[in-house]
């Protein structure tokens, strides 16, 4: 599926004065896929077909990301994003869902699991931000107010593409990188992404550290073990802190494990959501 096809399948929900775009495919127990930064729902395009065979798959673009609201004057923090997911689930009349999340989306998921536990059936986080593992240097620099003036949208995309390449085990083709970054190719998109980067705040994961041992949802931690952005040691720590959590290291995968090893990642998630024991050949 190319990004234009993905975009044309997106639905829309109004949440107060803001709106979000989201994919809604398949039937069954709902699974919500939450992307990270930079990115949008298209991050999940390689997993969606497999997951939608047994589940209703929902992939929102977070506020300020992708084709959701990119206007000014609202909070883009992971705390606000978790509140948004809660409100959106209410809007769709979804009481509980499986949550699958990556990068800062994982930070949103951890906040959901700790602060909105009634919303979370199963929790799967992948190469997630947690504790003080973030923001990474590249995003800190990108979120600097001067970036707006220093970089045109085209230059920003060139810079981000270079940075993103480090997140893949094998060099990704240009088309994939372009597709992941396409919502940010306009000046409005660039500015929105800068605002998103400026909203990254490590306090929003450190403040829930004490709550991690109280997570009751079955938890799977998937980690592209060669990730340079979020080191696997953080996954190991999460596996120790969340009761019963299972850590699976995915070989030959870096930060974007769902694109490096889509079949393996889809199999792990499908098995986990069915309540089956996840293949532990590489389990930590």
Spatial CA neighbour of 268 closest among 215, 233, 212, 219 = 219
> Minimal CA–CA distance to 203: which of 107, 123, 61, 82?
107
- Measured from the CB atom, the residue of 73 and 281 that comes closer to another protein is 73
Chain centre to alpha carbon of residue 204: 16
Least distance to another protein, CB of residue 64, Å: 11
Q: How far is the CB of 275 from another protein (least distance, A)?
A: 33
Minimum CB separation from another protein for residue 72, in Å?
7
DSSP H/E element including 269 = helix 262-273
Residues in touch with another protein (CB under 8 A) = 7-12, 17, 19, 21-22, 67, 70-73, 148-149, 152-154, 185-192
Which residues on neighbouring strands pair with residue 60, listed in sequence order? 22
- Residue whose CB is less far from another protein, 70 or 255: 70
Closest approach of another protein to the CB of residue 70, in Å: 6
- CA gap 18, 234 in Å, rounded: 33
> Nearest to residue 94, comparing CAs of 123, 48, 56?
56
**Minimum distance from residue 266 beta carbon to another protein (Å):** 24
- When the beta carbons of 65 and 223 are compared against another protein, the nearer one is 65
Tell the smallest beta-carbon distance from residue 5 to another protein (Å): 9
- Measured from the CB atom, the residue of 138 and 188 that comes closer to another protein is 188
Contact 218, 277 (CB under 8 A): no
Q: Which is nearer to another protein, 14 or 252 (CB)?
A: 14
Q: Which is nearer to another protein, 24 or 29 (CB)?
A: 24
Cis peptide bond prior to 79, omega within 30° of 0: no
Instruction: Report the C-alpha gap between 24 and 9 in whole angstroms.
Output: 8
The answer to whether the Cα torsion of 137, 172, 250, 55 is positive or negative is positive
């Amino acid at each position: 599926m190319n990004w234009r096809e993905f975009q044309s399948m997106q639905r829309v929900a109004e949440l107060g004065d803001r709106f979000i775009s989201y994919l809604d495919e398949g039937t069954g127990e709902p699974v919500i896929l939450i992307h990270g930064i930079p990115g949008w729902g298209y991050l999940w395009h390689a997993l969606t077909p497999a997951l939608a065979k047994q589940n209703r798959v929902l992939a929102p673009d977070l506020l300020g990301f992708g084709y959701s609201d990119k206007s000014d004057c609202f909070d883009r923090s992971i705390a606000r994003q978790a509140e948004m997911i809660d409100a959106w689930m209410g809007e769709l009349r979804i009481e509980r869902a499986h949550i699958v999340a990556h990068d800062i989306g994982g930070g949103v998921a951890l906040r959901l699991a700790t602060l909105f536990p009634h919303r979370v059936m199963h929790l799967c986080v992948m190469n997630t931000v947690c504790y003080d593992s973030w923001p990474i240097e590249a995003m800190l620099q990108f979120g600097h107010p001067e970036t707006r003036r220093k970089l045109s949208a085209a230059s920003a995309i060139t810079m981000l593409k270079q940075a993103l390449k480090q997140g893949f085990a094998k060099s990704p083709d240009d088309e994939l990188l372009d597709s992941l970054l396409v919502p940010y190719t306009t000046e409005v998109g660039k500015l929105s992404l800068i605002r998103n980067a400026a909203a990254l705040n490590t306090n929003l994961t450190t403040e829930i550290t004490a709550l991690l041992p109280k997570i009751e949802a079955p938890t799977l931690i998937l980690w592209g073990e060669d990730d340079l952005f979020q080191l696997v040691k953080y996954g190991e720590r999460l596996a120790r802190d969340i009761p019963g959590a299972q850590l699976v290291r995915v070989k030959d995968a870096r930060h974007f494990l769902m694109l490096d090893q889509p079949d393996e990642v889809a199999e792990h998630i499908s098995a986990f959501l069915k309540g089956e024991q996840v293949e532990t050949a590489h389990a930590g």
